[in-house]
Structure 1
């Protein structure tokens, strides 16, 4: 029997079908690649990156050798201060009334130096730490300043003997002293309504340094004999507007 009339077996027909499908898929991929190239978004050649890199290196070398383009000394002006933008001049802190300004500064000093012993309400504990409410703080300012600066030991004017109070004047400035005295005298139920000024606080520092027992705690007897008076210095109207940072009179607008 002749083989020309024989049909291909099942395996041959499957191979032909797979081959045809592969050809169709490859043709479609080629068509897509051709469309990408035709639209101008073909992948950038590696040589293009290399060429750009060489251009940048050469340009950098030329600019770098041009002189002072990248020299800090030539681009920075000694003493230069940038001017504020128009309409945004620095006007400084908002002025406050003298009493409020002094008390704000004094609140910080009290929290750092006094709160641990006399308490947040300044009432102490009645034994080792006396109350600061309604006692010497609202009376003679020189006596009060001597206690703060030098500490206190022995019996006080109410006849009680408390624990030895350590001196708080180490490192204390006139601003600190004036602030904390004003704060205590106008807080915790105390309300003298006045300001212990910087001028008064400076006098207190001088008086403390000139004590006979300078460097030692004051006693009730010394306070009664030498410091039962007000600190010298000009009186300040509590409503005077001040710079809250420096406590100096605010500049007129």
Structure 2
């Protein structure tokens, strides 16, 4: 029977402290490599992370070089998009053409911009003038009367008495320079159908073009008209076919829109 107080023989060559430390380190390393979390999942292997990173770098190199590994055409803008490319209409959409509006609306919209730029400063936002230096356009017989007479005033300005017979003591400057036929048609239509005016018609682009020719052919072209001149020579409407105010027109050109097929 062995002595319980006796100790096992150990070889003199074994360093117990060193062996214990080595075993402790090996157990810790094993625990890190094979650790299992509470939910049953383990950490991602460093090899998987390294392989994923290498794949991302390779893919980035291919895309960043615009596909040079495949002849330089992969993801090349010039090879994938044609010059003058126009997006096709969505299925069922078709070509709807330029935007259109009723003639009176489209002409007046253009005229409103011209009025704001050229007329508002003198005749006022309400077109009633100032009662001292600038005559009213609201209710004016020169505005609501014959269109050729009104056009001559817009294009050339007027000197002396106005439609009311009152002389405001100045000369209205010509508004024709830089104005197109569409501009003239728009502003005339706008003033004749706003500010309480209700002529109810449209001064067409063709009519305005005729007015510009008539103005240029005046004996004293370039000078302001007078009441005597316009009442003697231009007391008439501009020639041309009338345009139904409800006719749909191209909002950019003011030309009638093609009839639907």
**TM over 0.5: same fold?**
yes
1:151–1:218 CA contact under 8 A, matched in 2: yes
Q: Secondary structure at the match of 1:35?
A: coil
Question: Structure 2: where are the runs of 5+ without partners?
Answer: 1-27
What corresponds to 1:67 in structure 2?
72
1:107-146 aligned within 5 A: 107-135=112-140, 136-146=142-152
What corresponds to 2:4 in structure 1?
none
Pair 1:156 & 2:157 matched: no
Aligned-partner Cα distance in 1 for 2:127–2:76: 61
Pair 1:225 & 2:232 matched: yes
Task: Give the superposition deviation at 1:107.
Answer: 2.0
1:201-216 aligned within 5 A: 201-216=208-223
Pair 1:42 & 2:48 matched: no
What TM-score do the two structures reach when normalised by structure 2?
0.73
What corresponds to 2:197 in structure 1?
190
Q: Secondary structure at the match of 2:208?
A: helix
Change (3 A) 1:190 1:54: closer
Q: Deviations over 1:160-214 (max 9, x none)?
A: 2223222222221111111111111122222222211111101011112222222
Aligned-partner Cα distance in 1 for 2:223–2:34: 96
1:21-100 aligned within 5 A: 34-35=35-36, 39-42=41-44, 44=46, 47-48=50-51, 51-52=54-55, 55-56=58-59, 59=62, 63-65=67-69, 66-92=71-97, 95-100=100-105
RMSD, aligned CA: 3.1
1:99–1:195 CA contact under 8 A, matched in 2: yes
1:132–1:184 CA contact under 8 A, matched in 2: yes
Q: Deviations over 1:4-50 (max 9, x none)?
A: xxxxxxxxxxxxxxxxxxxxxxx9xx6898225x7243374685476
Aligned-partner Cα distance in 2 for 1:241–1:55: 60
What corresponds to 2:6 in structure 1?
none
2:100–2:249 CA contact under 8 A, matched in 1: yes
Change (3 A) 1:123 1:44: farther
Change (3 A) 1:70 1:227: same
What corresponds to 1:106 in structure 2?
111
What corresponds to 1:6 in structure 2?
none
Query: How many residues are treated as equivalent by the alignment?
Result: 226
Task: Give the superposition deviation at 1:140.
Answer: 1.5
What TM-score do the two structures reach when normalised by structure 1?
0.75
Task: Give the superposition deviation at 1:244.
Answer: 3.2
Aligned-partner Cα distance in 2 for 1:188–1:204: 24
Q: Secondary structure at the match of 1:114?
A: helix
1:64–1:70 CA contact under 8 A, matched in 2: no
Question: Structure 1: where are the runs of 5+ without partners?
Answer: 1-26
